[in-house]
Chains A and B, each alone.
Chain A
Amino acid sequence: MSDPLLSIRDLVTQFDTADGTVRAVDGVSYDVYPGETVGVVGESGSGKSVTVMSVLGLIPEPPGRIADGQVLLEGRDLLTLSDAEFRDVRGKDIAMIFQDPMTSLNPVLTVGSQIAEAIEVHRSHLSDDAIRKRVIELLELVGVPNADDRFDQYPHEYSGGMRQRAMIAMAIANEPKILIADEPTTALDVTIQAQVLNVLQTAQDETNAGTILITHDLGVIAEMADRVVVMYGGRVVETGTVDEIFHSPKHPYTLGLLSSLPRPDADLERLEPIPGQPPSLINLPSGCAFHPRCRMGNDRQRCRFETPERIDLDAGRSTACHYYEEMDAEIQRVQDATGAEISTEDEDA
Chain B
Amino acid sequence: MTDPTPRHDTSTSDPEEPPPGGVLAESDEQVAAYSDGSEIAARSQWQLFRRKFFRHKLAMGSLVYLAIVVVAAINAETVAPYAYDDINVVMRGTAPTFEEMHFFGTDQLGRDYFSRVLFGARTSLSVAWIVAVVVGVIGTTVGAIAGFYRGWVDAALMRMTDLVIIFPALAVLLVFAALFGQGRPTRIGIILGLLLWPTLARIVRGVFLSLREKEFVQAARACGAGDLRIMFRHMIPNTIGPIVVNMTLVMAAAIIIEATLAFLGFGVNPPTPALGRLMDEGRSSMQTQWWLIVMPGMALVSIALAVNFIGDGLRDALDPTQQEK
Q: Do A and B come into direct contact in the complex, CB within 8 Å?
A: yes
Report Cα–Cα, A287/B24, bound state, in Å: 13
Q: Is the CB of B30 within 8 A of A44?
A: no
Please count how many residues in chain A sit with their CB below 8 Å of the partner chain's CB atoms.
Answer: 37
Q: Is the CB of B5 within 8 A of A305?
A: no
Beta-carbon contacts of A41-69 to B below 8 Å, as 1s and 0s?
00011111110010000000001100000
Query: A28 → chain B, closest Cβ, in Å?
Result: 13
Residues of A within 8 A of B26 (CB): 301
Beta-carbon contacts of A272-308 to B below 8 Å, as 1s and 0s?
0000110111111111010110000001111011000
Report Cα–Cα, A141/B191, bound state, in Å: 69
Query: B45 → chain A, closest Cβ, in Å?
Result: 16
Check if B210 is an interface residue, CB within 8 A of chain A: no
Q: Is the CB of B39 within 8 A of A283?
A: yes
| A-B pair number, CB within 8 angstroms | 82
Beta-carbon contacts of A236-280 to B below 8 Å, as 1s and 0s?
000000000000000000000000000000000000000011011
Residues of B within 8 A of A24 (CB): 2, 4
B4 contact from A22, A276, A289, A304, Cβ within 8 A: A22
Q: Is the CB of A281 within 8 A of B9?
A: no
Residues of B within 8 A of A47 (CB): 2
Q: Is the CB of A281 within 8 A of B4?
A: yes
Residues of A within 8 A of B1 (CB): 49-50, 53, 182
Binding-face segment, A11-19, A115-123, A127-135, A199-207: A11-19
Closest Cβ neighbor of B8 among chain A residues: A280
Q: Is the CB of B35 within 8 A of A15?
A: no
Q: Is the CB of A44 within 8 A of B2?
A: yes
Q: Is the CB of B33 within 8 A of A286?
A: yes
| Secondary structure of the B contact surface, majority rule | loop
Check if B11 is an interface residue, CB within 8 A of chain A: yes
Report Cα–Cα, A49/B30, bound state, in Å: 32
B6 contact from A22, A49, A53, Cβ within 8 A: A22
Beta-carbon contacts of B27-70 to A below 8 Å, as 1s and 0s?
00010011111111000000000000000000000000000000
Q: Is the CB of A301 within 8 A of B19?
A: yes
Q: Is the CB of A301 within 8 A of B36?
A: no
Residues of B within 8 A of A280 (CB): 6-7, 9, 37, 40
B35 contact from A18, A45, A53, A283, Cβ within 8 A: A283
Check if B321 is an interface residue, CB within 8 A of chain A: no
Report Cα–Cα, A276/B14, bound state, in Å: 11
Kindly identify, within residues 253 to 284 of chain B, every residue whose CB is under 8 Å from any CB belonging to chain A: none
Residues of A within 8 A of B35 (CB): 283-286
Query: A248 → chain B, closest Cβ, in Å?
Result: 26
Q: Is the CB of B40 within 8 A of A282?
A: yes
5 A-B residue contacts at CB 8 Å?
A: A282-B7, A284-B37, A287-B34, A292-B12, A301-B26
